[in-house]
């Protein structure tokens, strides 16, 4: 039976969509700043590409994940494609593709480098052990990221060589490297430069924006207006790169975000700051006051993340004790009122409200 598409079932909002076959296998992951318009294009156009025609023929259901802005949809799509590797997605499947960060390496004399997050669960522990102190990103523009890498490296005199040479190269002679390899500056001086660069990354580039403004004004004072204009463009790009987003963050723990309604709960899995999955589940208990606690104690009886972020809980001490008694793990349960964790809860509420309305209209089935 072919999939019956109704445009009114989907919001005119930014988000990602997961097209699935009759077995629930994810065929394709996409994103849009207007989900209704994008999805309509699959079903109302005469497609000349055989690949798209085949995809549409296999679709049995479409799951959407709503986000706050276009930046979040770009980053979430990148994560979901790398995690699920859908057969109809060609781009972004490789781990060294998509949106990367800038980070200082773990070398004795660090350099600034491009970093792609590893989304393979088996690699997380190894990655965490060598995790650098600070990163900046992720960057939507590879061109801007590379230009920024060059500017920061030059500004702090950081080395660019992967293998340390014994003599300085051309970069030192043209003033783009400090020459630490040949002792032109001491190791302690070089490490101070890397410390300053690390602070800049930790502050999400705010110190860099001020530095760029100073450089732009210096170019303008020397009437080098083309360079000043280019510097202004870099500032604008950096300010955009710092746009608020909550779907791909830096974190050392795993979290589940639970938004409870009267009859269902939406569970969002966040692995080391990366939003991975949404599940709409039915609450079994008829007693609303105990349903929330019972759900948590049942679901996490054998295995739990490091933290649960919830909008409501009846007896937190009882729940924590019950889970610790079975898993021997000290579980953190948070009921935030503001900040990043509250924003995650609000994103869950946003998706819960959309999905519960679809359930009421018989358009979506919860996970048993």
Q: What is the pLDDT of residue 10?
A: 95
Determine contact, residues 102/145, Cβ cutoff 8 Å.
yes
Distances (CA, A) of 225 to 155, 215, 219, 266, 283: 20, 12, 7, 53, 63
**What averages of pLDDT result for each successive group of 10 residues across the chain (368 residues)?**
84 96 95 95 83 92 94 91 92 74 90 81 47 67 80 87 89 88 92 85 65 84 86 73 74 91 94 91 80 93 93 93 84 93 96 93 62
* DSSP H stretches of helix in the chain: 35-44, 50-58, 70-84, 124-129, 142-156, 170-173, 187-202, 206-221, 225-241, 288-299, 316-327, 339-360
Domains in the chain: ranges and CATH: 7-84 (3.40.1440.10), 100-203 (no CATH), 254-360 (3.30.420.340)
Instruction: Give kind and range of the element (H or E) at residue 135.
Output: strand 135-139
Q: How many residues does the chain have?
A: 368
Q: What is the pLDDT of residue 205?
A: 57
Q: What is the pLDDT of residue 184?
A: 92
- Phi/psi for 329 (5° steps) reads -115, 135
Q: What is the pLDDT of residue 22?
A: 93
The candidate with the shortest Cα–Cα distance to 275, out of 284, 265, 267, is 267
| Residues 124/125/129/135 CA torsion (nearest 10 deg) | 20
Cβ neighbours of 333 (radius 10 Å) = 17
Taking the C-alpha atoms of residue 243 and residue 351, their distance in angstroms, rounded to an integer, is 21
Determine contact, residues 70/78, Cβ cutoff 8 Å.
no
Full-model pTM: 0.75
Contacts for 203 with CB less than 8 Å, ≥ 6 apart: none
Q: What is the pLDDT of residue 255?
A: 95
The candidate with the shortest Cα–Cα distance to 124, out of 24, 271, 300, 312, is 271
């Amino acid at each position: 039976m072919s999939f019956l598409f109704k445009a009114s079932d989907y919001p005119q909002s930014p988000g990602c969509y997961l097209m699935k076959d009759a077995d629930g296998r994810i065929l394709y992951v996409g994103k849009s700043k207007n989900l209704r318009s994008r999805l309509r294009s699959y079903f109302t156009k005469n497609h000349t590409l055989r690949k798209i025609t085949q995809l549409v023929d296999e679709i049995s259901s479409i799951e959407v994940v709503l986000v706050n802005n276009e930046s979040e949809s770009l980053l979430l799509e990148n994560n979901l494609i790398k995690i699920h590797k859908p057969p109809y997605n060609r781009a972004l499947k490789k781990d060294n593709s998509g949106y990367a960060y800038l980070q200082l390496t773990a070398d004795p004399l660090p350099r600034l480098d491009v970093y792609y997050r590893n989304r393979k669960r088996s690699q997380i522990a190894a990655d965490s052990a060598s995790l650098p102190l600070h990163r900046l990103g992720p960057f939507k523009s590879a061109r801007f990221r590379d230009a920024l890498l060059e500017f920061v490296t030059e500004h702090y005199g950081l080395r660019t060589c992967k293998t340390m040479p014994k003599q300085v190269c051309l970069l030192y002679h043209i003033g783009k490297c400090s020459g630490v390899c040949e002792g032109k500056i001491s190791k302690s001086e070089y490490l101070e430069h890397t410390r300053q660069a690390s602070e800049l990354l930790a502050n999400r580039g705010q110190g860099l924006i001020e530095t760029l403004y100073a450089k732009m004004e210096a170019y303008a004072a020397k009437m080098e207006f083309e360079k000043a204009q280019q510097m202004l463009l870099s500032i604008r790009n950096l300010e955009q790169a710092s746009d608020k987003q909550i779907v791909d963050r830096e974190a050392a723990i795993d979290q589940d975000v639970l938004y409870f309604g009267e009859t269902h709960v939406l569970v969002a899995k966040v692995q080391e700051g990366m939003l991975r999955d949404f599940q709409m589940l039915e609450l079994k208990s008829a007693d609303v006051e105990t349903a929330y606690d019972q759900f948590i104690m049942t679901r996490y009886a054998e295995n739990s993340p490091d933290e649960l972020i919830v909008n409501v809980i009846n007896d937190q001490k009882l729940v924590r004790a019950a889970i610790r008694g079975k898993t021997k793990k000290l579980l953190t349960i948070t009921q935030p009122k503001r900040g990043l964790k509250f924003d995650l809860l609000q994103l869950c509420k946003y998706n819960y409200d959309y999905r519960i309305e679809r359930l009421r209209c018989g358009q979506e089935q919860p996970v048993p």
